[in-house]
């Protein structure tokens, strides 16, 4: 059975969706660790409640991006991670970690990429931008990462309607509910070896 690490920077609701899916037998893989972007986040509590090991690797503790990257990679290797899932993780993954895990690092973003994504577009900012633009649909995207912000090959997307009078909080709640469905689905496919990438195209194998 494969092992995967989860990386999170906040409350960890997407992380919880993965814990629940593993416990329900919907994902045929083991969560080997949580790498927390900072101490004190609720994702750590979720990991502890589920008996999942936790490592806090904080970017500001390192004097360079290279050393931070090396610490992330070392942690992943120590826990034996076969692949990685970013679940509300806000730091850019470095070159050494990317090279060690090519098309093996999955991220979830709260919009239909390539809309409302990129540097600085996270959390409520995404939903504020979608509403301000006047789009009728938003959604969630699960994708591989490639070293830039939200530019890697797309694995799965789901559409969420934007209703008249929506606040960013209203839209965020519906998008988050969708994230909790498609992220475990994508991770399950990854665990079963059913994702094949050709350039920008991700094929789901039968």
CATH number of domain containing 172? 3.40.50.170
Percentage, residues of the chain above pLDDT 70:
100
Burial of 202 (0-12, 13-18, 19+ CB in 10 A): buried
Full residue range of the structural domain in which residue 85 is found: 2-204
Catalytic residue numbers, as ranges: 109
Burial of 151 (0-12, 13-18, 19+ CB in 10 A): middle
pLDDT one-digit tens code per residue, 100-120: 999 999 999 999 999 999 988
Q: What is the distance between the alpha carbons of residues 24 and 196, in angstroms, rounded to a whole number?
A: 25
Which pLDDT band, with edges at 50, 70 and 90, does 17 fall under?
A: very high
Q: What's the total number of domains in the chain?
A: 1
pLDDT one-digit tens code per residue, 121-145: 999 999 999 999 999 999 999 999 9
Which pLDDT band, with edges at 50, 70 and 90, does 192 fall under?
A: very high
Which pLDDT band, with edges at 50, 70 and 90, does 171 fall under?
A: very high
- For residue 205, the tally of other CB atoms under 10 A from its CB is 9
Percentage, residues of the chain above pLDDT 90:
95
The per-residue pLDDT for 148 is 85
The per-residue pLDDT for 31 is 98
Given a cut of 90, is residue 79 above it in pLDDT? yes
Which pair of tokens denotes residue 23? Answer: 């416990």
| Nearest Cα residue to 178 out of 14, 35, 4 | 14
């Amino acid at each position: 059975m494969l092992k995967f690490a989860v990386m999170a920077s906040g409350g960890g609701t997407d992380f919880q969706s993965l814990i629940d899916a593993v416990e329900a037998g919907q994902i045929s893989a083991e969560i080997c660790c949580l790498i927390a972007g900072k101490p004190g986040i609720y994702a750590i509590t979720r990991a502890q409640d589920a008996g999942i090991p936790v490592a806090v690797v904080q970017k500001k503790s390192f004097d360079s991006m290279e050393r931070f990257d090396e610490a992330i990679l070392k942690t992943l290797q120590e826990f034996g991670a076969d692949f990685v899932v970013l679940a509300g993780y806000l730091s850019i993954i470095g070159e050494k970690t990317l090279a060690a895990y090519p098309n093996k690092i999955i991220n979830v973003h709260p919009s239909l990429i390539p809309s409302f994504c990129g540097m600085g577009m996270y959390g409520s900012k995404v939903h504020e931008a979608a509403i301000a633009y006047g789009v009728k649909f938003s959604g969630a995207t699960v994708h591989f990462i490639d070293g830039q912000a939200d530019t890697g090959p797309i694995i799965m997307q789901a559409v969420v309607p934007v209703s008249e009078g929506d606040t960013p909080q209203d839209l965020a709640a519906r998008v988050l509910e969708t994230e909790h469905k498609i992220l475990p689905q994508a991770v399950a496919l990854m665990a079963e070896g059913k994702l094949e990438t050709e350039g920008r195209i991700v094929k789901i194998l039968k």
